[in-house]
Amino acid sequence: MLPMKQVTIMTVIGSILVLLCSIFLGVFPSIFNSIVNKMLVLSRDSATLGDFISPPVPIYMQFYLFHVTNPDDIRFHGAKPKLKQVGPYTYAEVRTKHNMTWNDDDGTVTYLQDKSYFFREDMSHGLKESDEITTINPIMVVLADFVDRYRTDQNKKLLDLIWTEIEVGFDIFATEAVGNTIFYGFDLPEFDFDFSNLSVIIPGVNVTEGLSGSLYDILTKLNERGVIDVEPPESLRSNQIHFLKNNTDDHPYEVKTGAQGLDDYLHIVSWNGKSSLSYWNDEYCDQINGTDGTQFPPQVSKDQALYIYTSELCRSLYLTYEKEVDVHGVTTYRFIPPKDALEDPLVNPDNQCFCYPNVSYCLHASMLNMAPCAFDAPIVLSTPHFYQGNQEDIDSIDGLSPHKEEHETYLDIEPNTGVAMRAMKKMQLNVPLKRYGSFPSFKNVPEVIFPIVWVNESAQIDEDTASSVRKALYSPFTIVDAICGTLIGIGALLILVGTWKFIGVRRARNQQKL
């Protein structure tokens, strides 16, 4: 029989083990989060800087183009457009941040980020950049809209004469190689307008020497001579048209490093030198809010909204929690843009400030007018296949079939770090097809929002990276749980044995007294 003193020591030790381990299990998540938070802070020599400069996760751009199968019926008879989706044409996207400037007083870093793209035929299901696709010609639509809007009593005759020549050089539909359409650009024609008596047609405007050169040259001359009051976009200077430019940056970003706290970690302080936009003439719609979508402040919760600024959309957007998702064994929270974010402004008044130039020109659900940030060009971005859009718009085009699984944007966020383990950002480029100014090429066309291409910019960690994430995030908890669980078990056993021995000693003493 153990002496009472040893029994007491055994019980006390057991109690201490149980108490300390229980407390440690309770506080360990906070300790772990504190360690993670310190590692996230960006600095000139931080361990995470390399991944910030050049993300290790592979990123791909998948292009799905809409091939027009009945262009003549559309042009001459106003038929419903029949489109055939062709894709994906897959490009690897490489991002590199450079020209980094650290502002320690404000806890920010400013940088430029280049994006380069490389065609991946092996991921394009046999499709090639040389494939030819017939699409609506966006430059023709832009010019028709431009001439129609800027015609006045003073310049109408001149612009109508110019338009006649434009119709000779352009067609409402264009057939081009996919690679040229997306990145490399296809050449625009040059013009040589030599009209007589133009000084009589437009009094006070000396254009008798004619107009010649590229489209950019002609628009520049018309602007200089006061015929139109708008400068041509720089993108036309090369006399080529394409959707994206390769090896270019997206203007300077200034973001929070986390040095002054992680509540606004990687939030964009300014873009292109400005803390707010000037596209929408509204404080709410012109906000630059949130991060770029690759990472968020740590400790993401299910009941919060995540804000991202997307320069391609010329606006900020918010996402809300949908469900838990497993990405190679890593538990993530899936966030999606709620329907309200791109809802019809008549349904969600918060979106009325995105109507351009005013609420009389609101687009339907799923759409955003890009004219304010596209040199006033009639460009419409939307969800692919008008997902969550107006059924009337979907039915106006043969070949559209919106599905949540294929066409929804989402981010799968690891909640402890705020890092996106998987991201699918999807958008569609469209132009409004109208009977602009009764111009011959447009006088019979149906009036629809006409899809050209939709894009999926995707990124997902691979199995090896996921394994490293699991080890870093889950192994410490597994080890602590195992050690503390064992010690709690030992402590409980000591308490149990001590209690049993204590009862035995007391019983023996009572029997001796008898």
More confident residue, 1 or 400: 400
Co-location of 367 and 505 in the same domain: no
Using pLDDT thresholds of 50, 70 and 90, give the confidence band for residue 68: very high
Picking from 437, 461, 485, the residue at the C-terminal end of a domain is: 461
Give the residues across from 347 on adjacent strands: none
Tell me how many domains the chain contains.
2
How confident is the model at residue 301, as a pLDDT? 96
Average pLDDT, the chain: 86
Q: Which one, of 221, 223, 227, 220, lies nearest residue 205 by Cα?
A: 227
Co-location of 449 and 481 in the same domain: no
Cα–Cα distance, 57 to 55 (Å, whole number): 6
Q: Which of 160-174, 229-243, 339-353, 382-396 has the lowest mean pLDDT?
A: 229-243
Using pLDDT thresholds of 50, 70 and 90, give the confidence band for residue 99: very high
More confident residue, 493 or 51: 51
Residue 204 near residue 173 (C-beta atoms within 8 A): no
Co-location of 507 and 372 in the same domain: no
Co-location of 455 and 404 in the same domain: yes
Average of per-residue pLDDT across 401-407? 97
Co-location of 29 and 122 in the same domain: no
How confident is the model at residue 204, as a pLDDT? 44
Give the residues across from 445 on adjacent strands: none
Q: Which of 60-64, 149-153, 402-406, 497-501 has the lowest mean pLDDT?
A: 497-501
Average of per-residue pLDDT across 414-429? 95
Residue with token string 């909640």: 415
How confident is the model at residue 475, as a pLDDT? 72
How confident is the model at residue 507, as a pLDDT? 65
Co-location of 494 and 437 in the same domain: no
Using pLDDT thresholds of 50, 70 and 90, give the confidence band for residue 500: low
In a domain, 42, yes or no: no
Co-location of 387 and 416 in the same domain: yes
Co-location of 435 and 500 in the same domain: no
Q: Which one, of 327, 321, 317, lies nearest residue 300 by Cα?
A: 321
> For 342-394, what is each residue's pLDDT tens digit?
999 999 999 999 998 877 789 999 999 998 888 788 899 999 999 999 999 99
Co-location of 301 and 409 in the same domain: yes
In a domain, 406, yes or no: yes
How confident is the model at residue 20, as a pLDDT? 74
In a domain, 164, yes or no: no
Q: Which one, of 414, 433, 430, lies nearest residue 422 by Cα?
A: 414
Picking from 422, 439, 461, the residue at the C-terminal end of a domain is: 461
Range of the domain at 416: 58-137+172-188+239-461
Q: Phi first, then psi: what are they for 450, rounded to 5°?
A: -100, 115
Q: Calculate what percentage of the chain has a pLDDT beyond 90.
A: 55
The count of residues in the chain is: 514
Handedness of CA 386, 369, 161, 224 (dihedral sign): negative
Co-location of 436 and 495 in the same domain: no
Average of per-residue pLDDT across 55-71? 95
Co-location of 259 and 275 in the same domain: yes
In a domain, 208, yes or no: no
In a domain, 131, yes or no: yes
Co-location of 287 and 402 in the same domain: yes
